[in-house]
Amino acid sequence: MSVCQFIQRLLNIKAFSVKDYTFRNWFTELWLEVKPFKNGALCPRCNRRGKIVHTVETPRIWRDLPVCGRQVFFIYSPREIICRTHGRVQEFIPWAALYSRVTYRFEYSLLVYCSTMTQKAAAQFLKISQSTLSDLLHRIITRTRQGHKVRNLRSIGIDEISYCKGHKYATIVYDLEKSCVVWIGKGKARDTIDTFFRNELSNFQRGRIISASCDMCETFIGAIEKWCRNATLVLDRFHIVKALNEAVDEVRKEEWRKASKDDRKALKGLRWLLYRHSSNRTEENTKSLRSLYRGNRRIHRAWILKDEFEQFWEFKDQASAKDFLDSWYKTANRSRLESIKKFVKTIKKHEHRLLPFVETGLTNAISEGINRIIKIVKNRASGFSNLEAFSDLIFLTVGDLDIPGQIPAKFHAL
């Protein structure tokens, strides 16, 4: 076995061959002269052999996966050929995508690393700078998403996310059946969401949407009611629970402000406890909440109301759910808690968009799950300065396209 063959075996190079090797930069870089395997040159579009007419003078360089701390580069001068069908084209390069400066398996590893760790760590593993990494990532994702269309959208979710410290927002559209993100647009105004419906979906596709879910903001409600003529609009459970939690927290804050130093001790640690769903509480938690009955009546009252409201999601038919809501409103309005009363008012206004929940069975698990992943992505990067970088990672982790899967399977080496 020659050294070149040995390197070829060692680096698991299959579809092409290694002609020569050199070490450069005090053995930190391994440069391999490679060549597409067969004699002659193939057309990249039809895979038939073409007549070689020209060899590119300056050789091209591709970065491959590093091996044991050594950076690996491929070097080759591609040839131009005449294909009988496609005319003059550059020959087929088996190890990398057209115009790419890195090999397929490098791209694959980059995608997998970026979906599980910080870009800083991924850059260290791949021995490239962080800016090169995010540049490469953007190119790969743009390439794989090119010409990609929204397909089979029947259940749509719309939400807004902030992607930068300060107030920069993006609108994000989910497919609730496939639980993935299908579109991201800059801003959270009506224009943004209208752009999605106008440009991304055909009239037929808009008609196929049977259910839609969003938060209580008028922008999204208005857009859904305008564009999705056949959809039942259901308000997202996640956002309603959040609104109620905030109302309860408002009560807690008020009481905190009023309390004396000693009383405040008793109110410590309540914030997260009050947020918890009853099924996520330990007995100890419930006990300390119950003790509020003696400690602070107003917070206790707010908590009881919040816990009672959980029952709403369990109903299976609209009539009994409506009865429940009516009696809950009554108790809530008697509570003399302003923030809770305000919540009642909002819910009452949107009641007809809330009640279908019990029959459509649209769960919030999906959008909540996606939201959680997006939050992880955001925290991992500790904020994004531009939306492109953020959407790249969203599409990579929860997009409607398996992006690493778009790379030919034989290059899925890590």
What residues make contact with Zn ion under the rule CB under 5 A? 43, 45-46, 83, 85-86
Nearer to Zn ion, 50 or 404 (CB): 50
Least gap, CB of 45 to Zn ion (angstroms)? 5
Least gap, CB of 84 to Zn ion (angstroms)? 7
CA distance 321 to 15: 63
Nearer to Zn ion, 85 or 386 (CB): 85
Least gap, CB of 98 to Zn ion (angstroms)? 14
Nearer to Zn ion, 43 or 243 (CB): 43
Least gap, CB of 46 to Zn ion (angstroms)? 3
Nearer to Zn ion, 43 or 223 (CB): 43
Phi, psi of 16 (to 5 degrees): -155, 175
Q: Are 193 and 183 in contact (CB under 8 A)?
A: no
Nearer to Zn ion, 24 or 38 (CB): 38
CA distance 143 to 65: 20
Nearer to Zn ion, 45 or 352 (CB): 45
Least gap, CB of 104 to Zn ion (angstroms)? 21
Nearer to Zn ion, 43 or 244 (CB): 43
